[in-house]
Amino acid sequence: MIYYDLLEKASKDVGVQFNEDKYNKFILYKDLLKEWNEKINLTAITEDEEIIKKHFIDCIKAFKFNEFLKEKSIIDVGTGAGFPGIPLGIMKEDLHITLLDSLNKRINFLNDIINKLYLKNFSTIHGRAEDLARKNGYRENFDIATSRAVANMSVLSEFCLPYVKVGGHFVALKGPAVEDELSDAKNAIAILGGKLLDVIKVDIEDSDLKHNLVIVEKIKKSPDVYPRKAGTITKKPIK
């Protein structure tokens, strides 16, 4: 149990209980990630300790935002290899988590993880964020939309905020240099019905890594014209 103390320390920092069952799930997740990564591109991070710190602990730190500690419905937009959604669900089983990704091969991987880790309250969807956000049952239907390392804040806000119900939150897991992104995204966030609530600094145990949680509150409905088509969103971000 070489990484147990490290994960337990990170969990204590965010006020979430850690135990041997959760540890075993993270280790199996790590092993399956490495196994599948030989077949499909899931991550460039392949060393065990780096996976623990840069993926798992980085996601666990999302619990610094207290709303994740409550029973909530969450959509993880562009989840990729399951970050942050799967670590969130390992740590807190009463979260209802939808994992959305545009690549079916990654969805197959995620379903394998969910089955082999016996995770509860998970669903996976193969689709594009800008398409699903227009469908009943998904648009403005989640307490929290979250995303990690997908795009800049202007683009990410258009992908994510339409999923969030009024009174809910959009949470972006970001690296150390987020201030310029937020300055550029200020107008986009407002147009899409959001308001910047907080930027929570995150330290990763036993490393020099410093990340941020960007918290956006949904204060009004997103206009019907958003999200636009994917090419338009990325090529012509809202200014």
> Going from the N-terminus, what domains does the chain have, and what CATH number goes with each?
4-235 (3.40.50.150)
Confidence (pLDDT) at 100: 98
Burial class (CB in 10 A: 0-12, 13-18, 19+), 191: middle
Start-to-end CA distance of the chain, whole Å, equals 49
Show pLDDT as tens, one digit a residue, over the chain (239 residues): 899 999 999 999 999 999 999 999 999 999 999 999 999 999 999 999 999 999 999 999 999 999 999 989 999 999 999 999 999 999 999 999 999 999 999 999 999 999 999 999 999 999 999 999 999 999 999 999 999 977 899 999 999 999 999 999 999 999 888 888 899 999 999 999 999 999 999 999 989 988 999 999 999 999 999 999 888 999 999 98
How far apart are alpha carbons 113 and 220 in whole angstroms? Answer: 36
pLDDT for residue 168: 98
Q: In this structure, are residues 218 and 193 in contact, taking their beta carbons and an 8 Å threshold?
A: yes
**73-77 and 194-203 strand pairing:** unpaired
pTM of the model: 0.96
User: Measuring CA to CA, which residue among 98, 150, 122 is closest to residue 25?
Assistant: 122
Q: Angle at CA 118, nearest 5°, toward 204 and 40?
A: 65
